[in-house]
Amino acid sequence: MTTENTWQTICPTSDLIKNSGVCAILANQEQVALFQVGDDTIYAVANFDPFGKANVLYRGLIGETKGDVYVASPLLKQRFVLNTGACLDDGTLAIKTYQTRITDGKLEIFG
Amino acid sequence: MSRQPQKIVVVGNGMVGHHFVDEMAKHAGYEITVLSAEDRLAYDRVHLSEYFSGKTADDLAMTTPAYYNEIGVKFFTNAKVTDIDKAAKIVTTETGDTFAYDKLVMATGSYPFVPPIPGKERDHCLVYRTIQDLEDIQASAKAGKVGVVVGGGLLGLEAANALKELGLQTHVVEFAPQLMGVQLDKDGGALLRSMIEGIGVQVHTQKATNEIVDGETCVHRMNFADGTHLETDVILFSAGIRPYDNLAREFDLAVGERGGIVVDNNCKTSDKNIYAIGECALWNNFIFGLVAPGYTMAKVTADNIIGGEQQFTGADMSTKLKLMGMDVGSIGDAHGRTQGCKSYVYSNQPDQIYKKIVVSANGKELIGAVLVGDTSEYDTLLQYALNGIELPENPDGLILPTSGEKPTLGVDALPNTATICSCLNVTKGDIIAAIDCGAVDVGEVKSSTKAGTGCGGCAALLKKVTDHELEKRGVEINTDLCEHFAYSRVELFHIVKAEQIKTFDVLIEKHGSGLGCEICKPAAASILASVWNDYILKADHVSLQDTNDVFLGNMQKDGTYSVVPRMPGGEVTPDKLIVIGEVAKEYKLYTKVTGGQRIDLFGARVDQLPAIWKRLIDAGMETGHAYGKSLRTVKSCVGSTWCRYGQQDSMAMAIFLEDRYKGLRSPHKIKFAVSGCTRECAEAQSKDIGIIATENGWNLYVSGNGGMKPRHGDLFATDLDDETLVKYIDRYLMFYVRTADRLTRTSVWLENLAGGLAYMEKIVKDDHLGINAELEKQMQNVVDTYQCEWKTTIESTEQLKRFRQFVNSDTVDGNIEFVTERDQIRPAQGDEKKYGVQIQAVDLTLA
Ligand SMILES: Cc1cc2nc3c(=O)[nH]c(=O)nc-3n(C[C@H](O)[C@H](O)[C@H](O)COP(=O)(O)OP(=O)(O)OC[C@H]3O[C@@H](n4cnc5c(N)ncnc54)[C@H](O)[C@@H]3O)c2cc1C
Domains of chain A: 7-110 (2.102.10.10)
Distance CA B638, CA A25 (A): 51
Domains of chain B, residue spans:
6-111+243-305, 125-239, 316-409, 412-476, 489-540, 546-628+788-810, 630-785, 817-847
Contact A60 B807 (CB under 8 A): no
pLDDT for A19 beyond 50:
yes
Q: How far is CA B261 from CA B253, B284, B286, in A?
A: 7, 11, 10
Question: What Cα–Cα distance (Å) separates residue B119 from each residue in B122, B128, B197, B232?
Answer: 6, 18, 28, 13
Atom of ligand 1 nearest to the CA of B93: 42
Whether the pLDDT of residue B1 is over 60: the answer is no
B448 vs B435: CA distance, rounded Å: 9
- pLDDT of residue B844 exceeding 80, the answer is no
Asked whether the beta carbons of B527 and B496 are under 8 A apart, the reply is: yes
Q: Chain B, 492-531: which have a CB under 8 Å from a chain A CB?
A: 514-519, 521-522
User: pTM to 2 decimals?
Assistant: 0.53
| Burial class of residue B652 (count of CB atoms within 10 Å of its CB; 0-12, 13-18, 19+) | middle
* B 781-820 near A (Cβ less than 8 A): 801-802, 804-809, 811, 813-816
A16: chain B residues, CB-CB within 8 Å? 807
What's residue B481's pLDDT? Answer: 83
Between B688 and A52, whose confidence is greater? B688
CA B11 / ligand 1 centre spacing (Å): 13
pLDDT digits (tens, 9 = 90+) for B178-216: 999 989 999 999 999 999 998 899 999 999 999 999 999
Interface of B with A in 244-263 (CB under 8 A): none
Q: How many CA atoms lie within 13 A of A63 on its CB side?
A: 25
Query: Is the minimum distance from the CB of B133 to ligand 1 under 6 angstroms?
Result: no
Report DSSP letters for B417-440, one per residue. T-EEETTTTEEHHHHHHHHHTT--
Annotation: CATH topology of B412-476:
Arc Repressor Mutant, subunit A (1.10.10)
Average pLDDT in the B518-536 region? 88
Task: Judge whether residue B103 has pLDDT over 80.
Answer: yes
> Does pLDDT of B45 surpass 60?
yes
- Contact residues on chain A for B815, CB-CB shorter than 8 A: 48, 54-55
User: Is B540's Cβ below 8 Å from some Cβ in A?
Assistant: no
What pLDDT sits at residue B648?
A: 95
Common-topology check for domains B6-111+243-305 and B125-239: yes
Q: What is the pLDDT of residue B405?
A: 46
Which residues in chain B have Cβ-Cβ distances shorter than 8 Å to A63? 515-519, 521
Does residue B29 register a pLDDT over 60? yes
Distance CA B616, CA B619 (A): 5
Note the ipTM here.
0.93
CB B806 within 8 A of CB B683: no
Partners of B843 in beta bridges: A93
Query: Is a pLDDT exceeding 60 seen at residue B569?
Result: yes
CA pair distance B452, B754, nearest whole angstrom = 15
The class of domain B6-111+243-305 in CATH terms is: alpha beta
**What pLDDT, in 10s, does the model give residues B683-724?**
999 999 999 999 999 999 999 998 766 889 999 999 999 999
C-alpha B291 to ligand 1 mean position (Å): 8
Cβ atoms of B534 and B496 within 8 Å: the answer is no
Query: What is the pLDDT averaged over residues B265-282?
Result: 97
Q: How far apart are alpha carbons B82 and B95 in whole angstroms?
A: 9
In CATH, which of 3.30.413.10, 1.10.1200.10, 3.40.1160.10, 3.40.50.670 is domain B630-785? 3.30.413.10
A62 contacts B543? CB cut-off 8 A: yes
B845 touches chain A (CB under 8 A): yes
What is the fold, at CATH topology level, of the domain defined by B125-239?
FAD/NAD(P)-binding domain (3.50.50)
Q: How far is the CA of B132 from the centre of ligand 1 (A)?
A: 13
**Per CATH, the architecture of B316-409 is what?**
2-Layer Sandwich (3.30)
Nearest CA to ligand 1 atom 27: B109
Indicate the helix (H) or strand (E) that contains B173: strand B169-173
